[in-house]
Structure 1
């Protein structure tokens, strides 16, 4: 039977088998997982992401952020992509509501993958590949993505609210949040470098810019604080680049900004504030290759975060709802 023409009974059987295979502990991830069952997977996802980034460079940063917000809440299981069901999902959680974007990019990539390999590839794996491709398309590093994840059948708003560090987090809280996921302080600092692309709403840093003007103890460049206040005016929803110099290029500009006390969020500047990460930030600021290498390794480690044993899993046909 030709690809894309699976009959309804066959499709149901495929989905049932996928659910049963995923009902227990997730299998070990492998870079070769889809080599036989879906050889067109990686170029198919990359094409969809490249088209989205060509239309809107912000799409790359949005997809990368989706992956982080997925993995940090009960593992990399595509739960962040689920629309609300009987219980509130992650999309409406405090760190995500009116903030996360890029869902349509993953929808498009998943639809293209379904057309090529029906019922074979999880949304979680599509998202993991899309995040890698978004980084490389914006000029950052690439890495081999380990595959074989399964998708959650439910999402937890409470878990999202509890697990995702916020823009006001201090360095000890950031280190603790990443350590709780098995990630080191070095991983945390490297992964924070994802803020070299993308934008943030004024609501997330207005207090920081104002405190800087009033001598409120924020480690912020005074000229930069004034620029932020002017850019935001009274609009909490206005967007400002996280890296003001090269906002759409995945480079080490974020770390150069931190050294100059131009971190947009309080949690950004905490990485360079007289604490344990100052030396690493200085290294990344002067050596973009070192940052790129550490970022790629940290993304692989973060991508290994798995759902708890016994979590109901499947391969979803639609990333927005369980089968």
Structure 2
């Protein structure tokens, strides 16, 4: 999961602009966009991901993260997939993505399979949205009707990726501001954070919580002490910064609501996870409690929040293009 301190005026302006764009895009994207031109696109995407999951149980979480990191930078336009060229600075090299964003090879396989079936029809941005849904449903989570009709950007925004994507060591107020800036609310924030019910995170993203939280020389006081000992074994003080820990230590490859139960026992891996429950007086606490006690409520909210996120400022109509290769503009 493009770090921040928005001036309040910018947040306000972005929110209202975002609200206008969201309203417009809802009318433009629809679940049957490819029903005549590429009716099997969902099945094609799901088949490639199903094969990828057999050798890489992390891939589902990696693919949904690509969609998330794409949408938070200038909307869901597949800009995250573009490689560097002479004039374009890739978002892949932005701090939230470099040496951590993955799954690009699977996106390329999906694109090839889709092009073989219906060339020049389906955008890379829509492939990311479909891949996120398949990744969740194939891992035991909810399914939803993905709204489609996005087109692909012809440019990337590396600077935007560095400032707009929520970071795992940010405060809840900063992350809330980033969600607000793209028209998403507190419920969306908690629901979408629930994607951390599967996947992995590198030690470098949370090791400060284990040894030197906020420069205190001590661990994060909100961290369960038994869990702390376990994490220190995975991430010793001078060990590998890229060693991996499960985001959900209970059911690491299954999409369920255990993530929220973990927060209630102070066993959230990332600071941004635990703050949803451990920030005094936060509006997120009651939502965590609801999702922990009612998996169906979480699934319903998650599906709706994924649709909401997928509606962030899409390129439609004659804007953008349908890339033939997701890694480069036509």
Q: Name the counterpart of 2:18.
A: none
8 A Cα contact 2:199 2:247, kept in partner? yes
Distance 1:218 1:84, change over 3 A: farther
Q: Counterparts of 1:48-67 in structure 2 under 5 Å?
A: 48-67=48-67
Q: Counterparts of 1:106-255 in structure 2 under 5 Å?
A: 106-211=107-212, 215-233=218-236, 234-255=239-260
3-state SS, counterpart of residue 50 of structure 1: helix
TM-score normalized by the length of structure 1: 0.89
Extract unaligned runs of 5+ from structure 1: 1-24
8 A Cα contact 1:44 1:112, kept in partner? yes
Q: Show structure 1 runs of 4+ deviating over 2 A.
A: 211-218, 307-312
**CA deviation profile, 1:112-148 (whole Å, cap 9, x unmatched):** 0000001011001111101100000000000000100
8 A Cα contact 2:63 2:102, kept in partner? yes
Distance 1:306 1:210, change over 3 A: same
**CA deviation profile, 1:35-81 (whole Å, cap 9, x unmatched):** 00111211111111111112211011100100000011100000101
Separation of aligned partners in 2, 1:312 and 1:287 = 41
**CA deviation profile, 1:274-321 (whole Å, cap 9, x unmatched):** 222111111111111111110000000000012479995100000000
3-state SS, counterpart of residue 245 of structure 2: strand
- CA positional deviation for 1:215: 4.4
Q: Name the counterpart of 1:42.
A: 42
Separation of aligned partners in 1, 2:195 and 2:317 = 32
Separation of aligned partners in 1, 2:177 and 2:35 = 37
**CA deviation profile, 1:249-280 (whole Å, cap 9, x unmatched):** 00011111100001111111110012221111
**CA deviation profile, 1:172-229 (whole Å, cap 9, x unmatched):** 1111110111000010000000000000000000001114795455411111112111
8 A Cα contact 1:271 1:278, kept in partner? yes
8 A Cα contact 1:183 1:302, kept in partner? yes
Is 1:299 paired with 2:306? yes
8 A Cα contact 1:49 1:130, kept in partner? yes
Query: Which deviates the most, 277-286 or 63-72?
Result: 277-286
8 A Cα contact 1:153 1:312, kept in partner? no
8 A Cα contact 2:210 2:220, kept in partner? no
TM-score normalized by the length of structure 2: 0.87
Distance 1:208 1:214, change over 3 A: same
Is 1:314 paired with 2:321? yes
8 A Cα contact 2:151 2:314, kept in partner? no
Separation of aligned partners in 2, 1:118 and 1:48 = 17
The alignment covers a number of residue pairs equal to 299
Separation of aligned partners in 1, 2:318 and 2:290 = 40
